Amino acid sequence: MIMRTVIGLSFLLLINCTNEFNPVGAGPEVRLGNEFTVTPGTVISISGEQLTVHFVTVSEDSRCPTDVRCVWSGNAKVGIRIVKSGLTEQAIELNTHLQPQEDDYLSYHIRLIERLIPSPCRMASLIYRTTNQRCWLSIPHNA
């Protein structure tokens, strides 16, 4: 009974370790300072920097639907995780219309440079999924 428990706990620990975010070199590579597009779940490596960016989720989206007139344009918030190999990972939230739209990690400056698309739509015929969304980021060194 004890052996089964130990094996079961070891298996759960192994599964948990493989789900950690440490994918240096795991995704497409972009050059430092270049603009790039990401979709939720995408992992991007920054060439020559051992830096990895993961677009985790769209955690909020109160933007005005494209087929509606609104008093305020609304805001979308994207969750990003960034890590340099061997160092502490940092979770960052960036906004499309509110602050912050940019943040720093070590000597890097992460900037949301274009709106999150597509915008929400009220029409019943259009299926709106956050997995279809994408945003543009830029990560140069801090000046």
Write out the CATH class of domain 23-138.
mainly beta
Print the SS3 string covering 52-100. EEEEEEEEEECCCCCCCCCCCCCCEEEEEEEEECCCCCEEEEEECCCCC
Q: Are strands 29-30 and 43-46 parallel, antiparallel or unpaired?
A: parallel
Q: How many residues are there in the chain?
A: 143
Q: Each residue's pLDDT tens digit in the chain (143 positions)?
A: 554 443 444 433 333 333 344 444 456 898 998 888 888 888 999 999 999 999 898 888 888 887 788 898 888 899 999 999 999 999 999 998 899 999 999 999 999 876 676 666 665 444 444 556 777 788 887 76
